[in-house]
Amino acid sequence: IQTHRLNPSASIPASQAQAAQAAELDSDFLEPVHHDLDPVFKPPERLFAGDVPVPHIKSREEYVKLYQESIKAPSVFWSKMASELLEWERPPKFAAQGGYEDGDFSWFDGGLINACVNAVDRHAAATPDKTAIIWESDEPGEHEHISYRRLLIEVSKLANVFKSHGLRKGDHVAIYMPMVPEALYAMLACARLGLVHCVVFAGFSADAVRDRINDCGAKLVITADQGKRGGKVINLKRTVDQALLETPTIEKCLVFRRTGEFNIPFHKGRDLWYHEEVEKARPVCPPEPMHPEDPLFILYTSGSTGKPKGLIHSTGGYMLQTASSFKYIFDYHPSDIYGCMADVGWITGHSYICYGPLTMGATTVVFESIPTYPDAGRFWDCVQTHKITQLYTAPTAIRTLKKFGDEFVTKHDLSSLRVLGSVGEPINPEAWQWYHQVPGRSQCAIVDTYWQTETGSIIMTPLPGAIATKPGSCTVPFFGIEPVIIDATTGAEIKGNDVTGVLALRMHPGGWPSMARTILGDHKRFLDTYFNVYKGYYFTGDGAHRDKDGYYWVRGRVDDVINVSGHRISTSEVESAMIGHPAVAESAVVGIPDDVTGQALAVFVVLKPEFDVPLAPSPEATHHHHIKVDDVKKSMIQHIRQAVGPFAAPKMLFLVPDLPKTRSGKIMRRILRKVGGGEVKSEEQIKELGDLSTLADPGLIPQLVEIVHAKA
């Protein structure tokens, strides 16, 4: 049932796999678009008015010059940056080495570096009293400042706790934490000792936690009794307890007391209280000198197949590019207060809450709550209270807040803001304009930052003082990145402007420093997914348009990944979860457009014959029947929540007599996307679906249309 569209199997030569792959890409995001009449916004004059720090990059010319340098001589460019921005235990002998054919690329061989020293120690020495972390609790009005001096002490103590329980360089540690400073302490304590952390987003279910722990073989998991989000309590320890029933590698479970309100069961010999352990530990812990290519962390993300990919990031290259991108893209200056509202469970949290800002010695906000708690003014209340200068959030949050109206924004003093960032999914021009005009008061630079878990740091973005913006476009490449548009059917690069196709990045030796190095335990899958699809390029999985001015417009995934509120969800991951439900014979999951979440999941389910519930409410349907259908659907949605996590709950679930398939048995997802999205109503519109001649049963389509509309 699973489709391995982007993972050509071992026996197929790359060129052949490439052709097959190219021919199978089936996405509306590859259809041509035009952007001829878009408004253009110059960098805000206020950035140069004198009362705020002058931008690092002051003009387009300055950007172009640096960009050209970064492309022509990447090793020279990044080596210079590496000695400017990082502290090396021993300076590297080389910059980029190796290549993409085998994925043996490396950066900064011969050097020694510790990520924690770069993010903590050197600032604790230089600016000990500077605030490293502002923790904004779920409850408004409750916040805490943690200085660099204190950060070093907390991190060192925790590192000693890890040591005292036998953890050594190279061991894996799972982190399943709410948004509290201790989540960052845990990451940094791992980095200090050369332990490889694997943060699992606290919204994942017990099954998902178990699978990730088992895939990475973590020895220790660190969690909290409970988490708090939007006034609601989340029983993290309970989820971990359930996951740990089937995780043979876990020896210890360290529990941070966040609420203390719940009498959690403790497993003797396995569970330990964070506060008790830390109390015993000494606040001095020598950092482990690491090779720049030593793994810093593993982070799971969804791909085209059901099994999540554990991407591995390096130490040196990752630290360098997160720090440099943070500096230039958010135009960071030492007096700034920077607030990224993401969660550390995602790459955005790793790179732009923890490592990027702290490596630059910045003050970074750790935000525990949600944008709408206690009301839709929460972000702006934070901006006013902490005098935030750069705010970084996702289009889904921006669209949600826009719906609540301007008053929640305008009643706050937002004069501290200079840069407003967006990440996670394409931002629609209306949301962009609102972000610019209302929270930004037309005085802030909007940076729509495009990147991925795989790229480690932002790869396309405007720079605040240098690049004019267009609402909805991530504009131009960051240093070291060479985007190209590829024709999906021929696999050839499309030159020139005003073109649409698959977005890829041209590979030159070494690529860029923060690229993921492999997929844990599956290097072949790594090469096949990213480098063997289009030879000589890194394949992003997104469709994009390059407009007449050379600006990029990323349109969305062209593979089997659905982006719901910026969360990457694999269709086949949800489909394989569905198969575990006793009533399901077969299912297909597609992404449909949604005003707030960008995309939403629609699930089409074929029941096993023995489950004979009526598929659509009919005039004769009794009350009893309705309940039965609803119960079945509810249990399926519950099943997905349990197998993947609540964020993967489908918006729509349809019980259908069959799935539209080609005669060769391939599900025609294009049809399901259109029908599920409610676009198809009339017979004419069915005809407009295009060539249905390959369908095994064309009579099925009107039935699907009827079922979808009976629901709505």
CB of 330 to ligand 6R9, least distance (A): 14
What letter represents residue 541's amino acid? G
Within 479-538, the residues that bind ligand 6R9 by CB under 6 A are none
Q: What is the DSSP string of 381-396?
A: HHHHHHT-SEEEE-HH
Cα 671 from chain centre: 28
By CB under 6 A, residue 432 contacts ligand 6R9: no
- Per CB under 6 A, does 597 bind ligand 6R9? no
- Separation CA 519–CA 434 (nearest Å): 39
Q: Contact at 8 Å (CB) between 451 and 457?
A: yes
- Please return the burial class of 194, using the count of CB atoms within 10 Å of its CB with bins 0-12, 13-18 and 19+: buried
Q: Provide the minimum distance between the beta carbon of 41 and ligand 6R9 in the complex, in angstroms, as a whole number.
A: 16
- Binding of residue 452 to ligand 6R9 (CB under 6 A): yes
Q: Least distance (Å) from ligand 6R9 to the CB of residue 553?
A: 8
Give the nearer residue to ligand 6R9 in terms of CB position, either 215 or 241: 215
CB of 642 to ligand 6R9, least distance (A): 22
Task: Return the sign of the alpha-carbon dihedral for residues 400, 402, 406, 409.
Answer: positive
Q: How far is the CB of 161 from ligand 6R9 (least distance, A)?
A: 31
Candidate residues 79, 160, 304, 449; the one interacting with ligand 6R9 per rule CB under 6 A: 449
Spacing of C-alpha 474 from chain mean position = 16
Evaluate whether 534 touches 566 at the Cβ level (below 8 Å): no
Q: Which of residues 117-156 bind ligand 6R9 (CB under 6 A)?
A: none
Interface with ligand 6R9 (CB under 6 A), residue from 160, 315, 348, 571: 348
Residues 251-290 as x/- pattern, contact with ligand 6R9 by CB under 6 A:
----------------------------------------
Concatenating the DSSP letter of every residue in 38-102 gives ---BPPPGGGGSSSSPPPSS-SHHHHHHHHHHHHH-HHHHHHHHHHHH---SB--S-SEES-TTT
Compare residues 348 and 518 and give the one whose CB is closer to ligand 6R9. Answer: 348
Quote the CA–CA distance of 199 and 213 in Å, as a whole number: 10
d(CA 603, CA 584): 12
Q: How far is Cα 463 from Cα 66, in angstroms, rounded to an integer?
A: 12
Q: Which stretch binds ligand 6R9 (CB under 6 A): 141-149, 243-251, 553-561, 587-595?
A: 553-561
Closer residue to ligand 6R9, CB minimum distance, 351 or 532: 351
Strand residues in 324-468 grouped as ranges (E): 337-340, 363-367, 390-393, 419-422, 445-448
Q: Of the listed pieces 232-240, 329-337, 353-361, 443-451, which binds ligand 6R9 according to CB under 6 A?
A: 443-451
The answer to whether 312 and 350 have CB atoms below 8 angstroms apart is no
Q: How far apart are CA 253 and CA 175, in angstroms?
A: 10
Helix (H) or strand (E) segment spanning residue 124: helix 122-126
What is the footprint of ligand 6R9 within residues 557-596 (CB under 6 A)? 557, 563, 566, 568
Q: Tell whether residue 474 is a contact of ligand 6R9 (CB under 6 A).
A: yes
Residue 458 CB, nearest approach to ligand 6R9 (Å): 8
Give the footprint of ligand 6R9 on residues 408-427 (CB under 6 A).
423-426
- Closest contact distance (angstroms) between CB of 574 and ligand 6R9 is 16
Tell me the closest approach of the beta carbon of residue 451 to ligand 6R9, in angstroms: 5
Choose the binding region for ligand 6R9 from 57-65, 79-87, 269-277, 345-353 (rule: CB under 6 A). 345-353
347 forms part of the interface with ligand 6R9 (CB under 6 A) = yes
| Token duo for residue 432 | 């962009």
Give the residue, chosen from 194, 317, 513, 541, that forms a contact with ligand 6R9 under the rule CB under 6 A: 541
Q: Phi and psi for 688 in degrees, rounded to 5? A: -70, -10
Total residue count of the chain as it appears in this document: 712
Is residue 451 at the binding interface for ligand 6R9, with CB under 6 A as the rule?
yes
Is 226 or 563 the residue whose CB approaches ligand 6R9 more closely? 563
CB 174, min distance to ligand 6R9, A: 19
Inter-helix orientation angle 623-643/206-216, to 10°: 30
Nearby residues of 335 by Cβ (< 8 Å), 6 or more positions away: 53, 389
Closest-approach residue to ligand 6R9 (CB): 453
Assess 478 for contact with ligand 6R9 (CB under 6 A). no
DSSP sequence for 407-468: HHHHTS--TT--EEEE-SSPPPHHHHHHHHHTTSTTTSEEEE-B--TTTSS--B---TTT--
Local structure of 403: helix, strand or coil? helix
User: Residue holding tokens 């960051």?
Assistant: 478
Tell which residue, 253, 599, 284, 676, has the closest CA to residue 428. 599
- Binding ligand 6R9 (rule: CB under 6 A), the pick from 293, 482, 542, 560 is 542
The span of 194-202, 219-227, 450-458, 620-628 binding ligand 6R9 (CB under 6 A) equals: 450-458
Nearest distance, CB of residue 455 and ligand 6R9, angstroms: 8
Rounded least distance, CB 540 to ligand 6R9, Å? 6
Q: Where on the chain is the footprint of ligand 6R9 (CB under 6 A)?
A: 301, 346-348, 423-426, 448-453, 474, 540-542, 554, 556-557, 563, 566, 568
